[in-house]
Structure 1
Amino acid sequence: MKKFAKIFILSILCIFTFTECEKQLELSPLGQLDENTFYQTENDFEAASLSPYSTLLNFYFDQTGLGWYQGVLYPDDDVTAPNNSSNDQEDFNWNPNNDQFTYLWEQSYKGIQRANIIIDRLPLAKQFSDVAKKARYEAEAKFLRAYFHFLLAIHFGNPPVSEKAITIISEARKGNSQPGEIWNLIISDLQYAKANLPADWDAKNKGRVTSGAATGMLGKVYLYRAQWENNPSFYASAISEFNSIVASGKYTLIPTFEENFNPNTENNQESLFEIQFTRGDFNPWLPTDFGADGDQNVGAAGTARNIFWRPSCGPGNVCAPGANGMGYGQVHVTLPLQNEFEPNDPRIANTYWRAGDDFLGEPYDPAWSVTGSTPAKYVRQNLIEFSFPLNIEENNDRIIRYADVLLMLAEAELLGNNNVEKAAQLINQVRKRADPTGTILPDRPATVDKNQMFGWLRHERRVEFALEGNRYNDLVRWHRASLINIKTDINFGRTAANQNWSEKHLLKPIPQRELDLNSNLVQNPLY
């Protein structure tokens, strides 16, 4: 299957952005493979179905943090750049020529195109031994198409919707979608995926999306839409999806918080969906799209988190073990995040490094960081002295886990039904896992008002999911629903960020080169 998949990947690299140059659409097929000869059998679609997955890997592999770490993580109030250096993403100096946001746009539409090819070709395939299997391939592609559209929606607002594979330039020159249009497609795709995906996969396909992943993602989309459109009616749909996950009994909180970020306990019973990384020995999702023959990246599907996050040298040039060679020290934990944790919260140790923690045989020195701390989540659980190549660290990125389902359900119950008691019960499940004794993290009482419980919910989300890429999206959706005011309520831990943030930063700018190529696109306000 991998042989066919690698040939297929090369044959469909025809669109790298939504409006790419015309010559890319006129590439001749490699060998004898073309759209009429390849997309016919189960084996063909088994190979093709991996291509949208591999696009997900492109967000994480680059040692400079291209895409996910700079474009998604930096804008929140959890992390800051090293030594007070300037960083446009973090300081909200956003403009349409920003490479990080352009990359998010490009890779999202690349993943959508790959999913659309599968969806478009399935009805034309004539050599299936079991036609009923087509629904599963379509469901898998629709989940991934929905996920990429979701990323575009929460970052760019109303970008073009793409429901079929682009084969000519005119099809790529679509205008902005109408309000609600992108959310409608996401929901429709996830409903189909939920109904047609398997509940589980065999060992060799571990990590591929399941009906549970689709259900969790669907609930998340309803919750986000309720707040993006300030339409509380969507809370009921979110509650229904999350309750079905709870009632299934398939997922549970694993015994320790740390196990969620340990490479030895990936795809466990708390995980609904995670990005599958590997050093190449077992690579179910294929490699990233980057790297030439003979390059160390070929065959790899890893993340550069370890080297991008691990400490390097602090403001006084006090350097951590392996500085620069094994750690670039580009991500530092803000003081507001450190102060958010309750004293001695057991989750601290697996979220950020503190003075005296063991780091490669040496006590962690706060002088290695501009804030006195760097991220430990994922890194502590995979702390090895040397891992070459450095950008194929294999600790999976957890996208949806059961703790998130519980807290999203708590939020929907609280805001949709004013159910303070239910929200407290769900929040306390997450706290109890972190501290089974309840002596450090006592239960939240259900005798408070809705506003107090919502404050506790915001706190719990922040400390439970710190550094997981959810924080800025949470702030945006709460601001849009008038539940918080980012300008007055949030301390980004950096003077420039606090001064520069304004309402326009609820959306990222549409890339300038897309506007230059497509006159039908309209820039987001104030960019």
Structure 2
Amino acid sequence: MKKNYIKYTTVFLLGMGVFASCKKSFLQVNPKGEFAASNYYQTPDQAFAGLAAAYDPLTTETGGLDGTYTDVLGPLNSASDDCYAGGGGPNDTNDWQLWNNYQLNSAAGPQQGFWPINFLGVSRANTILAEVGGVPGLSDDLKKRYTAEAQFLRAHYYFDLERLFKNVPLILKPLAQADIYNQLQAKPADVYAQIEADLTAAIPNLPATVVASEQGRVTQGAAIALLGKVYLYEKKWAQAATEFAIVNGTPGGTTPVYGYHLVANFGSIFSPNNKFNSEAIFEITRTATQAYTWNNWNTFKGNVYVQMVGPRNFGDATYAGGWGFNPVTKLLHDALKGDPRYGYTVLDMDSLVAVEKSSYQASYQNTGYFLLKYAPLTKYKATQGQVELNYPNDYIEIRLADTYLMEAEALVMGSGGSARAQALLDAVRARVGLASVPVSMTTIKNERRLELATEGHRWFDLVRWGDAPTVLSFKGFQAGKNELLPIPLTDLSATKLVQNPGYAN
């Protein structure tokens, strides 16, 4: 496995409790056991450690309210038409079940994880931005780079908050105790303007590439791609296309400066043996080397999601067992059947056990179809610690095929560029041996579904396209309500925050 400097530093920080997360509310800014920032940022090493802590909410799967499991893939796949929640029963990992059935409320649902973990990230990024300029002995170049990374991270956390909640406070500096309960929700346009400003400021001061020991840190390409994605969600088509073109380069070729190009073998994109491959623009690292046990809840750096999606009570030479979450829907199975990506995306478990004359335990909402991109493979089982908690599979949050299709969408929805949009769509399809189809929003939507299935994008796509009420009606999606998550009840008490429409306090 390639070494990533972020993962080891954040584990150390969490162990010493300097930047311990606040599990009750993002508004509780000084949990017991933390050191005051004014007393901490006194050396370059401490500045580096603080920056690593700002990355940590991206990499910790279990940091929400009361230890809520906050991995992005499980809840988002449960809410989409790609998967069901699954698991051991209708109350197993209840937040996933509630979003799967669109029965969530202000007191229960995935917001219990997403809201605090993202505001924790905002808080830590704000601290770095406030303190890094005054750290003795830190070079000007490192101050610029750390500042740029913190700006990217704050933008990333706020982008997720906007997409999930829309109506959020805009907090740009560490809060004084007297101010923490007086925060008002900002206009979404103002939050998006700040996201754009942070990314625009960050881009010139981020490295174009990083050395192996720094993999996992933000690069210039990641910031440009995220800015393009932000513009796309704002329907700023021309600006989105401009940013994506920088990271995409010539469709099917290698991007100048950044070196991105499509991986020839689609199935190898997701392999732990192929981390930080040429298609990965922003990759979130997991590791199997920490030997975590159940005593390390809220600090796992292995990929627990991999264990969750495996078939229950099963194991052979290829596939390890799991807990039966996120069974693939027949809708996705049928959409992918016959596509070259099917065999890298969907595991037909019933056919496998029929051939092997073996068996597995059907999970709740079992369809017989399981995820393959994050499947628990026997060869990657940890040899130390609690095996289930230590899978090494990374999560590629932004990859080149994704940005190809987003640029194609921006061009089709904008004022021109149909030839380039066609070339981008064709490149994604050609990589898996598929012929060209005429570019349109219909074909782009279909390609995004097949190319990016189970990677956590589908729910966001359906919502932003306005397709969710129709596509997700079989799960109970209500238009005008379920496009957003409710604000957690704990953060409405004694504050000036107002609940999102459709959810009672």
TM-score (normalised: structure 2): 0.85
Aligned equivalent of 2:94: none
Out of 437, 440, 443, the position equivalent to 2:436 is: 443
Is the CA contact 1:61–1:303 (under 8 Å) kept in the aligned structure 2?
A: no
Q: CA deviation at 1:396?
A: 0.2
Is the CA contact 2:68–2:113 (under 8 Å) kept in the aligned structure 1?
A: no
Answering whether residue 15 of structure 2 is matched by residue 6 of structure 1, we say no
SS at match of 1:272: strand
1:301–1:359 CA distance, 2 compared to 1 (3 A): farther
Aligned equivalent of 2:100: 90
CA distance in structure 2 between the partners assigned to 1:70 and 1:505 by the alignment: 17
Aligned equivalent of 1:335: 330
What's the CA shift string for 1:60-100, capped at 9, x where partnerless? 68998545244322111100133884721111112101242
Answering whether residue 136 of structure 2 is matched by residue 126 of structure 1, we say yes
Is the CA contact 1:57–1:301 (under 8 Å) kept in the aligned structure 2?
A: yes
SS at match of 1:390: helix
Is the CA contact 1:49–1:118 (under 8 Å) kept in the aligned structure 2?
A: yes
Out of 404, 407, 420, the position equivalent to 1:406 is: 404
CA distance in structure 1 between the partners assigned to 2:99 and 2:126 by the alignment: 31
Aligned equivalent of 1:315: none
1:406–1:14 CA distance, 2 compared to 1 (3 A): closer
1:231-250 to 2 correspondences below 5 Å? 234-247=236-249, 248-249=255-256, 250=259
**Coordinate RMSD, CA, aligned:** 3.1
CA distance in structure 2 between the partners assigned to 1:151 and 1:419 by the alignment: 29
Is the CA contact 1:25–1:168 (under 8 Å) kept in the aligned structure 2?
A: no
Is the CA contact 1:64–1:308 (under 8 Å) kept in the aligned structure 2?
A: no
Q: More deviation in 346-355 or 209-218?
A: 346-355
Is the CA contact 1:61–1:301 (under 8 Å) kept in the aligned structure 2?
A: no
Aligned equivalent of 1:507: 484
Answering whether residue 71 of structure 2 is matched by residue 77 of structure 1, we say no
Aligned equivalent of 1:351: 345
1:396–1:19 CA distance, 2 compared to 1 (3 A): closer
Letter in 2 for 1:445: P
CA distance in structure 2 between the partners assigned to 1:11 and 1:176 by the alignment: 29
1:351–1:180 CA distance, 2 compared to 1 (3 A): same
1:133-212 to 2 correspondences below 5 Å? 133-212=142-221
CA distance in structure 2 between the partners assigned to 1:3 and 1:321 by the alignment: 34
CA distance in structure 2 between the partners assigned to 1:185 and 1:192 by the alignment: 10
Is the CA contact 2:309–2:323 (under 8 Å) kept in the aligned structure 1?
A: yes
Letter in 1 for 2:53: S
Letter in 2 for 1:352: V
Unaligned runs of 5+ in 1: 227-233, 313-318, 436-440, 447-452
Q: How many residues get paired?
A: 474
CA distance in structure 1 between the partners assigned to 2:395 and 2:164 by the alignment: 20
Letter in 1 for 2:430: K
Aligned equivalent of 1:450: none
Letter in 2 for 1:371: T
Unaligned runs of 5+ in 2: 92-96, 250-254
CA distance in structure 1 between the partners assigned to 2:424 and 2:141 by the alignment: 39
1:200–1:28 CA distance, 2 compared to 1 (3 A): closer
SS at match of 1:273: strand
CA distance in structure 1 between the partners assigned to 2:150 and 2:13 by the alignment: 19
1:365–1:181 CA distance, 2 compared to 1 (3 A): farther
Out of 366, 373, 378, the position equivalent to 2:369 is: 373
Aligned equivalent of 2:469: 487
1:244-283 to 2 correspondences below 5 Å? 244-247=246-249, 248-249=255-256, 250-280=259-289
What's the CA shift string for 1:37-75, capped at 9, x where partnerless? 431332221221110222112236899854524432211
Q: CA deviation at 1:169?
A: 4.6
CA distance in structure 2 between the partners assigned to 1:141 and 1:198 by the alignment: 14
Q: More deviation in 34-43 or 370-379?
A: 34-43
Aligned equivalent of 2:125: 115
What's the CA shift string for 1:245-289, capped at 9, x where partnerless? 12343211011111210000010111111111112359xxxx9xx
Out of 425, 429, 432, the position equivalent to 2:430 is: 432
What's the CA shift string for 1:441-460, capped at 9, x where partnerless? 221135xxxxxx21111110
Q: CA deviation at 1:347?
A: 0.8
1:160–1:368 CA distance, 2 compared to 1 (3 A): same
Is the CA contact 2:44–2:136 (under 8 Å) kept in the aligned structure 1?
A: no
SS at match of 1:332: coil
Out of 44, 47, 50, the position equivalent to 2:49 is: 47
Is the CA contact 1:277–1:301 (under 8 Å) kept in the aligned structure 2?
A: yes
Is the CA contact 1:280–1:299 (under 8 Å) kept in the aligned structure 2?
A: no
Q: More deviation in 100-109 or 272-281?
A: 272-281
CA distance in structure 1 between the partners assigned to 2:423 and 2:10 by the alignment: 49
CA distance in structure 2 between the partners assigned to 1:299 and 1:391 by the alignment: 11
SS at match of 1:516: coil
1:18–1:174 CA distance, 2 compared to 1 (3 A): farther
Letter in 1 for 2:332: L
Q: More deviation in 104-113 or 410-419?
A: 410-419
Is the CA contact 1:311–1:329 (under 8 Å) kept in the aligned structure 2?
A: yes
CA distance in structure 2 between the partners assigned to 1:121 and 1:137 by the alignment: 11
TM-score (normalised: structure 1): 0.82
SS at match of 1:398: strand
Q: CA deviation at 1:15?
A: 3.9
